């Protein structure tokens, strides 16, 4: 408006005190509405953050459970392999080769076979 916020000497103020108060009231109401809008947005973001944290914990627990299950299955495989290695010498000589081949085939499980075992259908990508 004027340099240093004052009119030059001898000139009256352009706005009355009432007009300035009304303008301040309008600006305050605008800032209040803006504050309310930002507060609602902040609450929404906080709610989304809480939901994301809940999902993170759920996925972490699932991941931990799957990791534990994989280690358990690996240990079972190791123990069963040891049992097979100890038993194969007791199988009749003519059947040992068949048993060894069957054990090797069992070790060559493909993703497709695993999916058919657990009931997941393969969808061709493209």
What are the C-alpha distances in Å from 73 to residues 76, 101, 110, 121? 5, 22, 16, 23
Q: At 12, is the secondary structure helix, strand, or coil?
A: coil
Is the CB of residue 83 less than 8 Å from the CB of residue 90? Answer: no
pTM value is 0.54
Q: Which residues contact 93 (CB under 8 A, 6 or more apart)?
A: none
**Alpha helices per DSSP H over 88-107:** 93-107
Is the CB of residue 102 less than 8 Å from the CB of residue 109? Answer: no
Full pLDDT tens readout for the chain, 126 residues: 455 555 566 666 567 899 999 999 999 999 999 999 999 999 999 999 999 999 999 999 999 999 999 999 999 999 999 999 999 899 898 888 998 898 888 888 888 888 888 887 656 554
pLDDT at 126 (0 to 100): 46
């Amino acid at each position: 408006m004027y340099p240093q916020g004052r009119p030059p000497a001898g000139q009256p103020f352009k706005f009355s005190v009432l007009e300035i108060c009304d303008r301040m009231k309008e600006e305050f109401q605008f800032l209040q509405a803006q504050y309310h809008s930002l507060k609602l947005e902040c609450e929404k973001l906080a709610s989304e953050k809480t939901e994301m944290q809940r999902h993170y914990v759920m996925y972490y627990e699932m991941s931990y459970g799957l990791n534990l299950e994989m280690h358990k299955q690996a240990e079972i495989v190791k123990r069963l392999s040891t049992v097979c290695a100890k038993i194969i010498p007791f199988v009749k000589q003519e059947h040992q080769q068949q048993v060894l081949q069957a054990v090797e085939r069992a070790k060559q499980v493909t993703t497709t076979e695993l999916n058919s075992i657990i009931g997941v259908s393969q969808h061709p990508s493209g």
